[in-house]
Amino acid sequence: METVRLSPYNFTFLRPKRLELAPSTFNGTPSNAQKRERTIKTFTVASLQVPVSPQHLQLPRLKVSPDSLQFPPGYLGAAVPERVVLDDGEGDNMSDAMGYLTKIITSEVYKVAITSPLQLAPKLSERLGVAVWLKREDLQPVFSFKLRGAYNMMAKIPEEQLKNGVICSSAGNHAQGVALAAKELGCSAVIAMPVTTPEIKWRSVERLGATVVLVGDSYDEAQTYAKKRSKEENRTFIPPFDHPDIIAGQGTVGMEIVSQMKQEGPLHAIFVPVGGGGLIAGIAAYVKRFCPEVKIIGVEPSDANAMALSLHHGQRVILDQVGGFADGVAVKEVGEEPFRICKELVDGVVLVSRDAICASIKDMFEEKRSILEPAGALSLAGAEAYCKYYGLKGENVVAITSGANMNFDKLRVVTELANVGRQQEAVLATILPEEPGSFKRFCELVGPMNITEFKYRCNSDKKAIVLYSVGIHTVSELEEMLERMKSSQLETYNLTKSDLVKDHLRYLMGGRLYVQNEVLCRFVLPERPGTLMKFLNAFSPRWNISLFHYRGEGETGANVLVGIQIPRREMDEFRDLANNLGYDYAVVNNDNDFQLLMH
């Protein structure tokens, strides 16, 4: 089938402005006005009277930063201590687990999906003292669980309506699930994907027989196009997670786990990757009905924690930015129906770092010789962190390996960070005097530890900075080396947790310089032709670009470190231009690691 690149019809995308409310001014508690009786209300808009039912009235969504809620690795946060089944006044609460139980049991997913195996991870289990079971959804025909929900919903569409075809918006696994379901059901499928989607992904969808339309720079723009076209062509829009039939289809994963674990003994917890929330909602709806004692624990990247923040605030929130490394779960807002289920049935959320995800990808390769995508390794990283944090021993835990659709290019990043995430490598900086013999003395102090990376350039000053990485086996081993450095009056810094160092500064050593009026920024630029020129046209030749380091991750966004010489009086103008570009960015001028290594 054809692949089309185009701008969405001939209309301008309008991103509705959402009122930003500080947590101190809105905490999810309804005001007196919001507690009024449920009746049909009428609003006057531009002299037109429009009847609006109460269920369609929505308060402005709280917009928050991922950094506003962070937990120690493995800590079970965002737990809901009191679960009260909400009554919407109509006597039919779809988040009731029994309501979903019937939907899950009668699901027709097995016409396209397999009953994925539940396999023990012996090496990881031995290391943790816990039996870690892997629910291998990465072995599905499209290498992801997403085909379950897509097929379940599409199989329920009346035949006459199905003849008109289906449409969805997705940058990856959901697209392949819809395409395969459409092929099985014999209907046409249109998949709207952002133009930044890697070719390997849209080619995979195309090979399944769907028509791929590459449109817009972001998922939101692709979704707007898909919904508009669905109305114009009377195609059924297939959402990625926010629909009861999608949730029920994903819930079959939980049904299989309950059956498969009967022979293995009591189950302590199931760790589930969370994006929009469809998978964890479906699993919780089934498992909590049969095994209420089993913990259902969501796992999110620390920079894409929309569910944790929503549970924390007691309402769905919107992230002001979202990390894209685990692109399969990189959503700014969880689904309405998944959230209603999760706030009643989920036990909490564990947050993990990018390094920990990379370490779990390596763990999975060493266990099964399989390579997971970052979102697919998310639950494994969460399970390991949780077991370590709480000292769990002798229990059974299940981690869902949810997908294996990863660009090969991204493996470079994974291999660089895996040992750091496993705490087997540390990134350090030591200040040395520029004098004969100092380098030899430094190496003697490192001692028997293996140096895995070393960056040094002679400096005209009396002191030089050495940036290096060492392999470590135990925490005490690293502490002893740092003490040797301290005793020899060699100031040493542990930079292992600094993403700025690992992504950029380690490659810029030797370029230390003070640049007047330099503003340091991190931008995420879409991976598409013309993006760099669009970026440069916004700022150059208005201001001089003093530093530029590109960090590709083999996915939809390139991580770029940029230095621009901007007088302080012109900063407001710069921010306006940067905001109008529409790319995620952050000013990092005051970063201590940059000051240490580059000034």
- E strand or H helix that includes residue 431: strand 425-433
Compute the chain's Rg from CA coordinates: 26
Q: What is the dihedral of CA 169, 174, 176, 181, to 10 degrees?
A: -100
Q: What angle do CA 17, 21, 25 make, to 5 degrees?
A: 155
Q: What is the 3-state secondary structure (H, E, C) of 121-161?
A: CHHHHHHHCCEEEEEEHHHCCCCECHHHHHHHHHHCCCHHH
Residue with tokens 């309804």: 30
Buried b (16+ CB within 10 A) or exposed e, 294-310: bbbbbbbbbbbbbbbbb
- State which H helix or E strand residue 377 sits in: helix 374-390
Cβ atoms of residues 262 and 238 within 8 Å = no
For residue 183, what are the contacts with CB-CB under 8 A and spacing of at least 6? Answer: 189, 208, 209, 210
User: Can you list the alpha helix ranges (DSSP code H) found in 525-591?
Assistant: 531-539, 571-581
Catalytic residues: 146, 402
Could you tell me if 301 and 351 are in contact, meaning their C-beta atoms sit under 8 angstroms apart?
yes
Please say whether the beta carbons of 21 and 320 come within 8 A.
no
Among 570, 584, 561, 522, which Cα is nearest to 542's? 570
- The dihedrals phi and psi of 103, each to the nearest 5 degrees, come to -60, -40
CA–CA gap between residue 597 and residue 530 (Å, rounded): 32
